[in-house]
Structure 1
Amino acid sequence: MAANLWHKFSILIFTITTLLTLPIISIFSQSQPSNNTCNSIFISYTYNTGHPLPPNISSDPTLQPYQFKSTLTIINNGLQELKSWRVFLQFQNSELLVSASNANFLAQPNQGILVFGNYPTIDLKSAVQTAGDINQMSVIVNLLGTQFGVAAPDIPLPQTVTLANDGFICPSPAMNGNNELVLCCTEDPEYKSNVTLKDNDFSPYQNGDLIIMYDVIQTYDSNYWAHVTISNQNPIARLDNWRLSWDWTEEEFIYSMKGAYTSVVDTTDCLFGKQGQFYKDLDFSSALNCERRPTIIDLPNSKTNDVTLGSIPSCCRNGTILPSSMDLSRTKSAFLVQVYKMPPYLNRTILNPPQNWRINGTFGSEYYKCASPIRVSPSSFPDSSGLPVESSAFASWQVICNITKFKSQVPKCCVSFSSFYNTSIIPCNTCACGCSNSKTNGKNKVCNASAPAALLPFEALTIPPENRTKYVEIWAKMNRMHLSDPIPCEDNCGININWHLVSDYKGGWTARMTVLNWGELDFHDWFVAADLDTTISRFESAESVNGTALTGDEYGIVFLQDYSGKGYLNPVTVRNGRNPRKNFRVPGVIQSMISFSKKTNPGWNLGKGDGFPKKVYFSGEECSIPSFVPSSGYILPTKFFSVCSMVLLVIFIECLTGCCEAFCYNSGQLS
């Protein structure tokens, strides 16, 4: 009897447990979407392996670097084609992504990485379009990089993974095991694009730091003419001596150009290759380039009106593209290129744009990362007849390039801070623009690359860094400051910018900016962009230079440039090379006094560092900046404080005068 009751009780407990568990299992399964249950865009991020990298940092495990290998998978299970797929990865362990197979990537703020499609997997077709061909529906991206501080058995996973394409809703990723994040992104039924498309085959136009348009304006069976336009959209970036390159994917070659030229003129590969066998009657001596990856360079200004090489609007600018905040008429560069095609693409309607675009320049323009070209609605151009009508391109592609920098990239300029309430200059950071272990100071000692920069007296600002050793030592001794032995290394920057707070009064304040060129390059059309956070609302004027307060997304930036026609920052000069200890090098110098108002923010406090910029850019290059500002117990004078100070000063002078007279009288020096 007891055994029977116990048996029934056990069955009852099992039944209740099963019923309670079923909903939990159901909810848990829903939070872990799989490729089989996702009817839209399925994304998974899987950590595969990793191992420690040198050096071995036992003192602080959070700084220990580790290699990681992961796999990112995107599958289109929806009904529509996913054009120009993009996935955003929010890392959390200071990850540095080194490579991504079948994709490009772009560093974003706060450890973010944007991964986007590369040729030929730019778009992901649906199962309906491909009869279930998984190779056209999906892409697998193998990621290789470095992360810091996460050792086995812990798994370094991103904080979040999401689809970056517009018009999709993505939930938070769910864990699948201990090394995989999965999610299923669905179309947003309420999403409405603000872009009108003429055809479903076209993608919407996008924004970026640099936009390149590849417009086919004439097309024939065997060749076509493309109009290429490079436009700068970043208000504080520029391109100097730009070099543009791409890959031909279907054995095309460049026959002629206007407005630009190939860096190498060579048709040997065509003459002895498939192109020469097919185009037997073509004069290859007149062709320009047959490289699979040609490099395009701009023409000098002297070719602007050349009938053969120039005569293209916005061409021949010597490789310089300025920001719109500096000169709106010089934000573009354009050229024409004649491209010959190869079988089986000998049809005027079959057009394949080049892939794997890359553009870079010199000083501040080396760090562009370009996405794959996307097909957009045809561009319009002013008609060549001069009539007030527009002609449309036969086909247009857009390439977005954004500025990206890595921690290993060394700045080329630096900033020092000083103020009226502190007698010392906070110099540029030690080795701000790189250092050499063989670097020596005036006493032939190896300098200290890890020590913080030594404070300087004001008179040392225009002294060459290699001649400042004595100034540094004397100043440290006078102010009883610790000085490392050997002394800290120099900043090694060609461009030094000093930001000095000059005055502070009830209605406003002033700062002096001094740009010192210690390098051997002269800078034409230079500019300085100072990010002063919310100070922009109080910018009033700048002396000796043109000053502008940028608005919109760049709210808080003061843009400073030299007057038109005088925009040269001369290189360093040497007075007399016989005795470098006495005949110092003289830098190129530009100086400006900048005025600000406190009307909109009377609580502005210079004594707390409110007057120093958070970031400074010189001609597009972000400069190294000190980690602290001049300190003091400075308090803005009030009327009461000023009156009291004057009274005390008068009393002090009277007392001092009386003491001096008494002293002199007792000494017998006064009668």
Structure 2
Amino acid sequence: MAHFRLVLDETSMGSSLQIFFLLCLLGSLSLCYGYDPLDPNGNVTIKWDIMQSNGDTYDVRVSVFNFQLFRHVEKPGWRLSWDWVNDEVIWNMWGAQATQQGNCSRFKGQRPHSCEKSPVIVDLLPGTPYNTQVANCCKGGVLSSFNQDPSKHGSMFQMNVGGATNSTSFTIAENFTLGLDGYTCGNAQSVPASQFTADGGRRWTQAISTWNVTCIYSQFRASPNPKCCVSLSAFYNNTIVPCPKCSCRCQGLSGAECLRPGEVLQMPHDPTDHPPALVRCTNHMCPIRVHWHVKQSYQAYWRVKITITNFNVIRNYSEWNLVVQHPNLRSLTEVYSFTYQPLYVHGYVNNTGMFWGIKSFNDLLLQSGESGNVQTEMLLRKEPSDFTFREGWAFPRKISFNGDDCVMPQPDDYPRLPNAAMAHDHRILNLPLSIIITLLPLINHFLELFLR
């Protein structure tokens, strides 16, 4: 291997640093801007439909769609915000509400619902009175991933807007945000006007104009610390490979508090808000640990057990999901107690699958404790072309929990086959050669007879 020596003067040092930072920037684009190769088109789309003009006011229908295959919008849900371009106000709203009315002193008599220049809108909770609802509203801002429950991936509200400079020009608002960690929204783009059914589906009606705003997620922007880790074990090795130390945080560093054995939890919080992170004290300090155990080997199949453990002492994970990359998932035969769906990336199976719980059985991952785990087993068919237990092949290449990548152990640390097993495997793979070696004395004897 060739070795190179780099000598830098001040000029070349400056240029090299520029190149270095440029490469770092390019290398982190997918991480910072949220591109996920397993969900290349995943996004949250805000659809802004101008439905009709009423002279000095106009009606708007706003929809929020989660088009991410395996990432939810969890509690406390979206908090949609934007900046009005002119002097717009929201006179009335159905299916959602503004968190602040703002300064409406310029209006006499009936006051608008909100006069905020940058209103913050929240979804109504389930069970809201019927006269304030619209279709597909009132989910508390929670949206399911598109794969897991397409019927719950969207939300909608309506509002009556006034106070614009010209109510027929319909200038779109700007600077949209979802109020969710890790999400960044782009500029509004004009798209073909949406169509809707009317009169019980007997005719179609159309919006006056429609804009789309696309928001994407970045795990790095959401949190600099990972949220899950992976541990490994196998039937052929007594070693259990734990999650890497300090996978998510380190005890005592950067305010990483944890609950020690015997300590009593005293941290009240608003049940409608996202509970703060507090985990049990571990070497990895992750809220979630995924354990992959190679359990058994049969003649034509092998069995894996997956256990997901919640170390968060105050949070349940509802409708959780797990995404796994493994070369043998294309030959998965049966899954017990989890729902499974292969992921088709760029139109083909990419040895990647999505697991989630069964409704009302194990779709709720309870907070840390005796019941704070869910588990399944799966049976995979051995493919002669690539199956082996050697070199860590039986372990996953990548695992994510609720859309966030988990920290994996180093490949060098994976449980290895014992030397005897590897030798046995080698003899099996080279069986024809061993037969030839065994027959060589007999072949040699016949050659001697023939040559006499």
Given the two structures, how large is their TM-score scaled by the length of structure 1? 0.52
Structure 1 runs (4+) deviating above 3 angstroms are 110-114, 438-443, 633-642
Partner residue in 1 for 2:368: 572
Partner residue in 2 for 1:239: 73
Per-residue deviation, 1:96: 8.3
Q: 2:355 aligns with which of 560, 569, 576?
A: 560
Partner residue in 1 for 2:201: 387
Give the letter for the 2:318 counterpart: H
Partner residue in 1 for 2:211: 397
Partner residue in 1 for 2:289: 496
Distance 2:120 2:147 in 1: 29
Distance 2:48 2:122 in 1: 16
Kept in 2: contact 1:414–1:493 (CA 8 A): yes
Per-residue deviation, 1:507: 2.1
**Percent identical:** 24
Q: Which whole-Å deviations, capped at 9, do the CAs of 1:531-556 have from their partners, x for residues lacking one?
A: 22x43311222111112222243732
Structure 1 gaps, min length 5: 1-50, 53-61, 71-89, 98-106, 115-205, 444-463, 467-488, 574-585, 645-671
DSSP-derived class of the 1:95 partner: helix
Partner residue in 2 for 1:157: none
Is 1:353 paired with 2:189? no
Partner residue in 2 for 1:412: 227
Is 1:511 paired with 2:304? yes
Is 1:593 paired with 2:388? no
Q: How do residues 374-523 of structure 1 correspond to structure 2 at under 5 angstroms? A: 374-383=189-198, 385-406=199-220, 409-435=224-250, 436-437=252-253, 466=281, 490-519=283-312, 520-523=314-317
Given the two structures, how large is their TM-score scaled by the length of structure 2? 0.75
Kept in 1: contact 2:100–2:119 (CA 8 A): no
Structure 2 gaps, min length 5: 1-12, 261-278, 432-452
Q: 1:524 aligns with which of 306, 318, 335?
A: 318
Q: Which whole-Å deviations, capped at 9, do the CAs of 1:75-132 have from their partners, x for residues lacking one?
A: xxxxxxxxxxxxxxx97531289xxxxxxxxx64388899xxxxxxxxxxxxxxxxxx
Q: 2:30 aligns with which of 109, 124, 128?
A: 109
Per-residue deviation, 1:440: 9.9
Kept in 1: contact 2:46–2:214 (CA 8 A): yes
Distance 1:537 1:353 in 2: 46
Give the letter for the 1:521 counterpart: R
Distance 1:379 1:442 in 2: 51
Distance 2:367 2:22 in 1: 43
Kept in 2: contact 1:92–1:111 (CA 8 A): no
Distance 2:333 2:91 in 1: 54
Per-residue deviation, 1:313: 2.4
Relative to structure 1, is the Cα distance of residues 395 and 631 closer, same or farther in structure 2, using a 3 angstrom cutoff?
Answer: same
Partner residue in 2 for 1:335: 157
Q: 1:610 aligns with which of 393, 396, 403?
A: 393
Distance 1:96 1:291 in 2: 39
State the aligned residue count.
382
Relative to structure 1, is the Cα distance of residues 603 and 96 closer, same or farther in structure 2, using a 3 angstrom cutoff?
Answer: closer
Kept in 1: contact 2:42–2:69 (CA 8 A): no
Alpha carbon RMSD of aligned pairs, Å?
3.5
Relative to structure 1, is the Cα distance of residues 322 and 439 closer, same or farther in structure 2, using a 3 angstrom cutoff?
Answer: closer
Q: Which whole-Å deviations, capped at 9, do the CAs of 1:30-84 have from their partners, x for residues lacking one?
A: xxxxxxxxxxxxxxxxxxxxx99xxxxxxxxx9xxx7x8x9xxxxxxxxxxxxxx
DSSP-derived class of the 2:213 partner: strand
DSSP-derived class of the 1:109 partner: helix
Give the letter for the 1:556 counterpart: N
Greater RCO, 1 or 2 (C-alpha within 8 Å, sep 6+): 2
Per-residue deviation, 1:424: 2.1
Distance 2:239 2:426 in 1: 28
Q: Which whole-Å deviations, capped at 9, do the CAs of 1:121-159 have from their partners, x for residues lacking one?
A: xxxxxxxxxxxxxxxxxxxxxxxxxxxxxxxxxxxxxxx
Is 1:621 paired with 2:444? no
Bigger radius of gyration = 1
Partner residue in 2 for 1:94: 24
Relative to structure 1, is the Cα distance of residues 501 and 430 closer, same or farther in structure 2, using a 3 angstrom cutoff?
Answer: same
Distance 2:321 2:330 in 1: 20
DSSP-derived class of the 1:556 partner: strand
Distance 1:357 1:270 in 2: 23
Per-residue deviation, 1:621: 2.6
Q: Which whole-Å deviations, capped at 9, do the CAs of 1:584-604 have from their partners, x for residues lacking one?
A: xx46011100221234x5322
Per-residue deviation, 1:207: 5.6
Partner residue in 2 for 1:540: 333
Relative to structure 1, is the Cα distance of residues 367 and 420 closer, same or farther in structure 2, using a 3 angstrom cutoff?
Answer: same
Q: How do residues 221-300 of structure 1 correspond to structure 2 at under 5 angstroms? A: 221-240=55-74, 241-262=77-98, 264-267=99-102, 269-271=103-105, 276=106, 279-281=107-109, 283-284=110-111, 287-300=112-125
Per-residue deviation, 1:232: 1.6
